[in-house]
Amino acid sequence: MPAAFREGMGVIGGRQANSWSPSFWARHLGRAPYWTLGITDQHISVMTPSGLSTVHVAEHEKLNFEIGSIWARMSAPELGILSALPGLSKRALSEFRACVGQQVREYEEALDLQPVLEALVGWWTGFQAATRTNWDNRHWLPEEFIVEWEDRLAHLRSTHLLSAAQRRLMADRADERERKALHVLDADWSVHAHVAAQNEALVDVELIDERAFFDRIEKTPLNEEQARAVICFDNRVQLVASAGSGKTSTMVAKAGWTIRKNLAEADEILLLAFNKAAADELGQRCDARLANANISADGLRATTFHAFGLRVIGEATGAKPRLAPGLDSDNGVPLIADVVRALRRSSPEFAARWSLFQNVLGVPVTGDAEPEPDAWDPVKRRSGFRDLNLEVMKSAGERAIANWLIKSGIEFEYERPYEVDVADAQHSQYRPDFFYPSVGVYHEHWALVPGQAEPPGFEGYLQSSAWKKSLHSDNRTILIETAARDLASGSLFGDLERQLRANGIEPDFDPDRPVPGTPLLTDREMCTLFRTFLAHAKSNRLGAADLRARVTTGRNGTPDLRETLFLDLFDEVRQEWDRRLRDANEVDFEDMLNHATDLVEAGRWTSPYRVVLVDEFQDASHSRARLVRALVNRPGHFLFAVGDDWQSIYRFAGSDISAMTSFEDAFGAGHILRLERTFRCSQQLSTIAGDFAMKNPNQLKKQVRSDRTQAVPLALALVDSDTGVTDAIAQRLSELSGLAADGPTTSVKILGRYRYERELVPRTRYPSLDVSFQTVHSSKGLEADHVIIPGLTRGAFPSTKEDDPLLRLALPEGDDFPHAEERRLFYVALTRARETVLLIARTGRESEFVTELLSDGVVTVLGDGAQGDVPDPCPVCGKGLMVLRQGKYGPFMACNRFPACTSKRRVPS
């Protein structure tokens, strides 16, 4: 095809044409000049050497065809083509006529498109009017507005399916108003994008026009982040607020904005907080600040979840329930302890199972969750696990067996040399795991787990096991056997008891048998675990069958022993707990919130509130989140949830971080905004604390900014005793007192992981200092110029017992990042400080968090000379620090994770 023809016919109207030309033979024989016939965009085109002619398909009769014996000839006098153009094959003519027929049918259908066009114009006109009205009233267009108009448009599109040709025909026939309506059918046009553009324009205007409001509503003018969060009035808004970023000021302003803009009346606004002090402060602050801005707050209500839930039940049923007394005391742990005491007294079986869990299975003993060694055997020169008789076992599984034997009154010897000398060139003297001297029976506990031929790192283990078994066979000594896989499956203790009885030993498990050692979990720790589990199970509405369905199942189909035993105990505790509530006609927090939610969801209580503002949303339990969802789950209702997932530290009280991290999944689409400018911490400290928090990939990302700087925001003092801790605190307080002597009073908070750390605080008064001690949990929401954290010792902070894997059975989703809750707690401690933080740790027993900060190079070690040097990281485990220790042969460097890590090296002389 000549270039001129390709340019003229290749693309017509932006679309590739259907085209036909004289056949090859017609051109080859020289009997037909080159010409092209094409159809596109409902137009027929004829290209000849003299030019291009077009006609609409509805006028296809203007083309005449004479069909010869081989080829057809075309002429079109009305198009100025007077001579016939020959050479079109009969097949090409048939294809052309079929294509013309299809185009004509589409055209005829298009003649009936006027109602569709009118419908589109009606939708567009209505949409424009709705958006204009909201703009005139300076109102935000919320998600439900987008959904409503998107649904209408989708219905219009699905009811009137238009071909591309029909859309082009409509565009050709439309006037200017109709063409504007037609553009909503374009692939790149969306209701969401149009609304987002208008909302962003609204923010820009309101930031200017309402500057006086934002400057006056709080004592300190709101910054742009805060003001934008106030203006954004979507149905669902989550405000992720960094520590010290002014979230309360934003909530107060949000309440005032709602009333000022006539988005809701004051009595249609509900502010929810998690404790009475916070609710009272929020309510009082709203009253004072709204009055200062000449906004009436009559009817505005700030309350706790618990008070609100009781109100709902009382108004809906006519019988306000009574909360069980004591729930507010230590989260009800003393009530659980009382239940457990009663069960242990009344049921020897319960007492025995409680003791079995507490002394034998209190910590995980198999799989990835197996604990690190916690003891050192100076005779055998190895780390291990200390049993109830204070002997050090090689593995946690062996400790579990030893503790069971001890509580069963069975005498045994651990790793006693075999009675026959079998040492040779390949083998040292054989030492079976256990020996029962009363009957002369040996016991091997094989480190075999499902799915593995032999334990990792134990090459030749099976060969060694076979050799040991052959010794017993050859020497006619009795061997009984257990395996690690049987401990997880739950069959180990039953099998062991049968084997012992078969060999003349009668186990007598006595939970009260006195022992020199301490249990794996104290009674206090056990009761705390059960209360936390109860809160989550009830909050997530998980019954006994639901919990059992979540138990880990081994490869052989057997349920995990530790989880099963825990649930056996938990079922009895829960039944007795609920029985006491029923008998006293009382409720606990979780049942009360669930009942209140049921009443709202069932329509038995109609909420008068259209706008719900929730403070500290990261602390919401599943039951609280469900109640909030029920309150706003209607058109024209709005949720403003404010919190910081980095500060979610109340899992022991039932809080579920997933309400924050999966906000849109739980509540629906909306806006997720951030307050990333802190008014409290320096930029250096904000960066250190933020980087520390974000090492957990499950936390929401933020980049905290500050206008303040601090040369040395984080320092570390290493001490060797409790007295050293007190001395380090005293030295720091003396330094700060001297610096504050000529200025205003300086505040200092000493933050302990546990209450007992109060005893480490010096009793001396320091001029110009306001010094107070608090636990880290109780310090949340507070701040001070300087912070001291004295308890950064391995095993204490982070606590090794707060994140028990059992909790996953009662949680909708777990956070398996190491020390996730404790990490957030440490972040809270760091971010209480406006200026500096002093960490205090024991030399050689530094907390994992201290090790991490030192490895990151973000903490300054105090002291002179070598004392002030930053310890080297452990080259073996990579988690600890190499610290100086004294041995029989002089000083040496060893990992501070000892005995979990036994790495050491000589000190150069």
* Distance between CA atoms of residues 442 and 872, nearest Å: 45
pLDDT digit string (tens) for 446-503?
A: 887 766 666 665 667 888 889 899 999 999 999 999 988 787 777 888 899 999 999 9
The answer to whether the annotation marks 539 as part of a ligand binding site is no
Instruction: Lowest mean pLDDT of 136-150, 603-617, 651-665, name the range.
Output: 651-665
User: In this predicted model, which residue has the larger pLDDT, 216 or 155?
Assistant: 216
Query: Would you say residue 901 lies in a domain?
Result: no
* Same domain for 92 and 142: no
Where residue 776 falls among pLDDT bands split at 50, 70, 90?
very high
* Distance between CA atoms of residues 60 and 76, nearest Å: 10
> Which of 120, 116, 240 minimizes the C-alpha distance to 166?
116
For the chain, give the mean pLDDT: 86
The answer to whether the annotation marks 51 as part of a ligand binding site is no
Q: Calculate the alpha carbon distances from 623 to 68, 161, 306, 627 in Å.
A: 85, 45, 11, 6
* Distance between CA atoms of residues 263 and 231, nearest Å: 11
Query: Would you say residue 707 lies in a domain?
Result: yes
SS3 227: helix
Give the pLDDT of residue 43: 85
Q: Which of 454, 474, 502 is the last residue of a domain?
A: 502
Name the residue range of residue 442's domain: 363-417+430-502
Residue % of the chain over a pLDDT of 90: 48
The answer to whether the annotation marks 242 as part of a ligand binding site is yes
Is residue 32 over pLDDT 70?
A: no
Helices and strands: H and E segment counts in the chain: 31, 34
Average pLDDT over residues 241-252: 93
pLDDT digit string (tens) for 45-66?
A: 888 888 888 888 878 888 888 8
* Same domain for 75 and 19: yes
* Same domain for 665 and 619: yes
> Which of 397, 464, 405, 401 minimizes the C-alpha distance to 430?
464
Is residue 12 over pLDDT 50?
A: no
Query: Would you say residue 358 lies in a domain?
Result: no
The answer to whether the annotation marks 246 as part of a ligand binding site is yes
pLDDT digit string (tens) for 369-381?
A: 456 777 777 888 7
Query: Would you say residue 276 lies in a domain?
Result: yes
Instruction: Lowest mean pLDDT of 577-586, 654-663, 678-687, 747-756, name the range.
Output: 654-663
Average pLDDT over residues 362-388: 74
* Same domain for 459 and 497: yes
* Same domain for 157 and 191: yes
* Same domain for 638 and 489: no
User: In this predicted model, which residue has the larger pLDDT, 561 or 233?
Assistant: 233
Is residue 592 over pLDDT 80?
A: yes
Q: Which of 75, 110, 145 is the last residue of a domain?
A: 110
SS3 720: coil
Query: Would you say residue 708 lies in a domain?
Result: yes
Give the pLDDT of residue 10: 40
Is residue 15 over pLDDT 80?
A: no
Q: Which of 608, 643, 677 is the last residue of a domain?
A: 677
The answer to whether the annotation marks 261 as part of a ligand binding site is no
Give the pLDDT of residue 414: 95
CATH number at residue 300: 3.40.50.300
Give the pLDDT of residue 510: 86
Residue 180 tokens read as 């504007």
Residue % of the chain over a pLDDT of 70: 90
Where residue 160 falls among pLDDT bands split at 50, 70, 90?
low
Give the pLDDT of residue 146: 92
Edge to edge, the sheet with strand 904-906 lists 872-873, 881-887, 890-895, 904-906
Is residue 834 over pLDDT 80?
A: yes
Where residue 172 falls among pLDDT bands split at 50, 70, 90?
low
The answer to whether the CB of 148 falls within 8 A of the CB of 241 is: no
Query: Would you say residue 878 lies in a domain?
Result: no
The answer to whether the annotation marks 554 as part of a ligand binding site is no
Where residue 161 falls among pLDDT bands split at 50, 70, 90?
low
Where residue 621 falls among pLDDT bands split at 50, 70, 90?
confident
Determine the residue type at 117: L
Query: Would you say residue 597 lies in a domain?
Result: yes
Residue 553 tokens read as 């199942």
Of 14-18, 365-369, 403-407, 800-804, highest mean pLDDT: 403-407
Is residue 235 over pLDDT 50?
A: yes
Residue 616 tokens read as 């500290």
* Same domain for 667 and 604: yes
Give the pLDDT of residue 3: 36
First to last CA, the chain: 92
* Same domain for 849 and 705: yes
Query: Would you say residue 205 lies in a domain?
Result: no
* Distance between CA atoms of residues 883 and 756, nearest Å: 27
By DSSP bridging, strand 714-719 and strand 746-752 are unpaired
Can you give the pTM of this predicted structure? 0.77
* Same domain for 619 and 565: no
* Same domain for 824 and 857: yes
* Same domain for 445 and 487: yes
The answer to whether the annotation marks 248 as part of a ligand binding site is yes
* Distance between CA atoms of residues 847 and 810, nearest Å: 29
How many domains, the chain? 6
Give the pLDDT of residue 833: 94
* Distance between CA atoms of residues 53 and 40, nearest Å: 13
* Distance between CA atoms of residues 529 and 521, nearest Å: 10
CATH number at residue 40: 2.30.29
Average pLDDT over residues 405-433: 91
The answer to whether the annotation marks 851 as part of a ligand binding site is no
For 724, counting Cβ atoms within 10 Å of its Cβ (0-12 exposed, 13-18 middle, 19+ buried), the class is: middle
Is residue 4 over pLDDT 50?
A: no
Give the pLDDT of residue 30: 61
pLDDT digit string (tens) for 65-109?
A: 888 877 788 888 888 777 777 888 888 888 888 888 888 877 766
Of 96-100, 783-787, 798-802, 861-865, highest mean pLDDT: 783-787
Give the pLDDT of residue 866: 40
* Same domain for 276 and 173: no
